[in-house]
Amino acid sequence: MDKQDTSTQNQKKPHQRQPTGGNGTPNWIWILVAALAGYYIFTTYNNLDRVELSYSSFKQQVREGNVSSVTIQGKRVRGKFAENYSTPAGRGQDTVTYQAFRTVNPGYDNERLMSLLEENGVTVKAQTAGNQLWLWALILAAPWILIVLWASYARNRMKKQMGGSGGMGGMGGPGGLFNVGKSRARKYRKTEKTKTSFGDVAGLENAKKDLEEIVKYLTQPKRFLSLGAEIPKGVLLMGPPGTGKTLLARAVAGEAGVPFYSISGSEFIEMFVGVGASRVRDMFNNAKKEQPAIIFIDELDAIGRSRGAGLGGGHDEREQTLNQILSEMDGFEPQESVVVMAATNRPDVLDPALKRPGRFDRQIVLNLPERPARKKILDIHARKVPLEQDVDIDAIARQTVGFSGADLKNLVNEASLLAGRKQKEKVGKDDFEEAADKITLGRRRETSIDEEEQKLIAYHEAGHALVTKLLPKTDPLQKVTIIPRGRALGATQQLPELDRHNLSRDYLLNRIAVSLGGRAAEKLAFDDFTNGGAHDLQQATDLARRMVTSWGMSKRLGAATFTQGKDQVFLGRQMGQEKNYSESTGRIIDEEIQEIVNSMEEKASKLLRDNRNTLDKLVKALIEHETLENGEVERILREG
């Protein structure tokens, strides 16, 4: 009997809960909503046949015997018309039957009104003005009561879902109202949408080795803990955009058989204070419950910027989120196998506390791929592309210096799109060349250029090309064109034979001379200058300034650097810079820059004057063919 009673009691417990609707909302809320809706419908329906009269019209209706009864409540007068009375709807042509009417009594005519009603046999009733005051107050307060009740219900429901744990979160309970404080990190496992592996990442061999060790730490933690080693808490991937930071994170998710939480830094910040910190806590709690696990934060600089930087202090909500991340990473115990990976292309703006040991222990720098890596990347992206026999992947890799992995992927895709537009079955060499021109120079413009301006552009580009061929220690010429593309009316392309890491003084000086070759050719041919060399002048001046102030290549200033102080990235590069040299030194810097630029311009002018015949032949060929490859330029040079 005792067991049966206990069982009966347990079966009755669900019936003792508060009755709820189909979606879990208590029934009393629905009853209150239905009552308010019913009252609104009733009052609306009750007023459908009630006409609004002016006070003078009301008295006229009384005098004519059209009113049977009235009810006076303060200044409000409600009444009923006599039977079979119809009010005119429009200028007396049509009639509409109304059962009741209402009007407003001005108040000073009460005695005359009562006499008028008695004389015409109208039944009079009276009500106090406060009889319905409570009803109007309820109607006005009902929306606010519903909001408060719904917020209270949502808060209690959040507490039940979180097991009744304390803390208010971002808004009204753990996770906040409508789960606004819950983590938005997307969870992946090895079998879910994570088919990317390290084999799909070309180049970046050192980075892959470091990350392969992280995978081993997570899959075989006892092997390292037995030796007294601690698993790294954070891995920071740094590099220019498009170098493969997010791709490496996806590869780690594909290689590791552990839960992988992915989120962007911007997803932590909301308009409510404390939401970002609440989401950080929730994300780390979820990862700790399923350890070993990996957390990946993309674009870390969105929340990890230096605290207190900029005018007027920092951003409180962002700084609270950053403080919570720092706290969570410090709170890891040695046996907790949770690794935080993050990616950024702005490591210079990160808070120093993030990069210290114990937080992001490993900082992996990803650079632009070199020639062997570019070839591997192109091979990977070209695996599914049918190629013609004339396509040389190694030559394309050699011609794409400075391209990132994302740029190379885009190159293959653009070449495929171009071949599809031409209704070709395979992608050819010309498609890759056109795609490279589109990416580096821009789409070809349909610009109308007259003969005189075309000749000027041809002299400008021929000047660049000829100075490139005549000077030693310059990057080899690839092509020169006067076809307008993007924002340029012409272009001279140079490609280094090898990826350069160290730049000599002679190479830099010759590079400045090549930049000024177009301006020198204009002066030689037309005895005038145009604004077409504005970008060339900017490049030459910036390069000369770096030589003088940063690289110690000045004759008068010697082996010293003269920077303009530490950049304040949140104040603007120019606004936050402070000079660390005197005015006299600044004058010498300006004179040295001017001397370098002027001497290199004179050098380019002398080369072009000595080879004027060759320059004219180049211009003629350019006007005729619009584009000259390196071999054609060399043939003209041999003839000259």
Residues taking part in catalysis: 461
Let me know: does 269 contact 184? Beta carbons within 8 Å: no
Strands of 293-298's sheet in order across: 186-188, 260-264, 293-298, 338-344, 234-238, 362-365
Cβ contacts of 104 within 8 Å, gap of 6 or more: 55, 75, 76, 77
Tell me which residue of 78, 105, 263, 127 sits closest to 182, measured CA to CA.
Answer: 263
Let me know: does 151 contact 177? Beta carbons within 8 Å: yes
Let me know: does 329 contact 288? Beta carbons within 8 Å: no
Instruction: Give the Cα separation of 296 and 352 in Å (integer).
Output: 19
Structure tokens at 606: 């002398």
Tell me which residue of 548, 532, 536 sits closest to 601, measured CA to CA.
Answer: 536
Q: How many CB atoms lie within 10 A of CB 411?
A: 24
Q: Give the chain's length.
A: 640
Paired residues of 539 in beta bridges: none
Tell me which residue of 399, 430, 403, 435 sits closest to 417, measured CA to CA.
Answer: 435
Paired residues of 264 in beta bridges: 298
Beta-strand pair 234-238/100-104: unpaired
Tell me which residue of 477, 471, 480, 450 sits closest to 617, measured CA to CA.
Answer: 480
Return the ∠ at Cα 80 (arms to 76 and 83), rounded to 5°: 165
Say how many Å lie between the first and final Cα of the chain, rounded. 117
Instruction: Give the Cα separation of 384 and 391 in Å (integer).
Output: 14
Let me know: does 614 contact 554? Beta carbons within 8 Å: no
The reply to whether omega before 88 is within 30° of 0 (cis) is no
